[in-house]
Amino acid sequence: MSQQRRPLVKHIFTADPSAHVFDGKIYIYPSHDLAEDLEHNDNGDEYQMTDYHILSLDSLDAECKDNGEALHMRDVKWVSKQMWAPDAAYKNGKYYLFFPARDKEGLFRIGVAVGDKPEGPFKAEDDYIQGTCTIDPAVFVDDDGRAYMYYGGLWGGQLEKWQNGVYEPDAQEPAAGQPAACSFVAELNDDMKSIKGEPMKVVILDENGKPITADDEDRRFFEASWMHKYNDTYYFSYSTGTTHYIVYATSKSPTGPFTYRGRILEPVVGWTTHHSIVEYQGKWYLFYHDSELSNGKNNQRCVKFTEIKYNEDGTIQTIKPYEE
């Protein structure tokens, strides 16, 4: 029986799925929501996640396996709390788990842990990746072996406060009509534990070649970066946050600028939306989450997936999550 559009697991709450194919299997790297119903605010204090469980599928019709705890906050020296949406990559014969968390000063940073198997366990580096900030790392290894990390997010709580490369607690959101705050991209060094050069902003342009503006809430970046490549085109996809869409923009370069193209996923049950896109056996799939399992509780989510389809011009057909 197909698992599509059904919770992959029900014994724990999972969200923010980053899916990859390793050794012929699909591995999903989600955040692990706690079974606590806390009050929502712009800082995301209701998301008090402490560890990661890696999920895997032997096939699309197989029962999803929870491979157990792969990394816990207590084993990461620099972390104080809130281990949020992770991602993973394979290079140099090792698997790398990238994750955001608050450091001892309460600021979000990006860390990395290394393992010998895709499901872990992972051993974290003693410190976060220098030069990184904020949340939602997504790591893309290109055909030439170069690796790029995309990160950033959370309007009102994080994103606009890092736009100048340092944390500015009193920084305000850009005004209406001004370019929206951007996420970041940084090339990783070959060790996959450090960045090469200075991070760059991920610029998203409209159909007229102008930057998407701060008040364009249907199209501006909010959080949840993802990168995939289809027919030599780079697809940068993300969540719009306040309007609850997964949308995408394309470029011929992994660092952009990117031109907005359309929506991938209409709103789901729950406030947040976060996704990944992966090719498996010649077809493409969207992994995402909603709050259906918890009857709409924002911080108790479940991971699902569904097939995505491309039009001849490379655009992606919009998915309505509750319509077959």
Mean pLDDT across the chain, nearest whole number? 95
Q: With pLDDT > 90 as the criterion, what percentage of the chain qualifies?
A: 88
For residue 180, which of 93, 260, 100 has the smallest C-alpha distance?
A: 260
Domains located in the chain, CATH noted: 13-141+148-170+185-190+267-308 (2.115.10.20)
Residue range 289-300: mean pLDDT, rounded: 95
Give the tens place of pLDDT for each residue, 33-83.
Answer: 998 877 777 677 889 999 999 999 999 999 999 999 999 999 999 999 999
Confidence at 1, pLDDT banded by 50, 70, 90: very low
Contact 277, 308 (CB under 8 A): yes
Q: Which amino acid is at 251?
A: S
How buried is 266 (Cβ within 10 angstroms: 0-12 exposed, 13-18 middle, 19+ buried)? middle
Amino acid, single-letter form, for residue 148: Y
How many C-beta atoms lie closer than 10 Å to residue 5's C-beta?
A: 17
pTM above 0.85, yes or no: yes
- Beta-strand pair 204-205/258-265: parallel
Under 8 Å between Cβ of 133 and 153: no
Helix or strand or coil: residue 216?
Answer: coil
CA–CA separation, 27 vs 276, rounded Å?
12
DSSP 261-285: EEEEE---SSS---EEEEEETTEEE
Which of 16, 87, 290, 292 is the catalytic position?
16
Known catalytic residue: 63? no
Q: Could you report the per-residue pLDDT of 232-264, keeping only the tens digit for each? A: 999 999 999 999 999 999 999 999 999 999 999
Quick one: what percent of the chain has pLDDT higher than 70? 98
- pLDDT value at residue 25: 98
Residue 2: pLDDT over 70:
no
Q: What is the C-alpha to C-alpha distance for residues 271 and 2, in angstroms, rounded to an integer?
A: 27
> What is the per-residue DSSP string for 219-252?
TS--EEEEEEEETTEEEEEEE-GGG--EEEEEES
pLDDT attached to residue 207: 97
Placement of tokens 């005004």 in the chain: 175
- Candidate from 14-18, 106-110, 158-162, 312-316 with smallest mean pLDDT: 158-162
Instruction: Give mean pLDDT, residues 296-307.
Output: 95
Active site residue 223: yes
For residues 95-120, give the mean pLDDT: 97
> For 163-197, how does the pLDDT look when each residue is reduced to its tens digit (9 = 90+)?
888 888 888 889 999 999 999 999 999 999 999 98
Give the up-direction half-sphere exposure of residue 248: CA atoms within 13 A in the CB hemisphere.
27
Ranges of beta strands (E only) in 82-194 are 87-91, 94-103, 108-115, 123-124, 138-141, 147-151, 183-188
Active-site residue, from 119, 223, 290, 292? 223
Mean pLDDT of the 123-132 span: 97
Q: Which two tokens stand for residue 206?
A: 């409209």
Backbone angles phi, psi at 160, to 5 degrees: -70, -15
Query: What are the two backbone dihedrals, phi and then psi, of residue 75, each rounded to the nearest 5 degrees?
Result: -100, 10
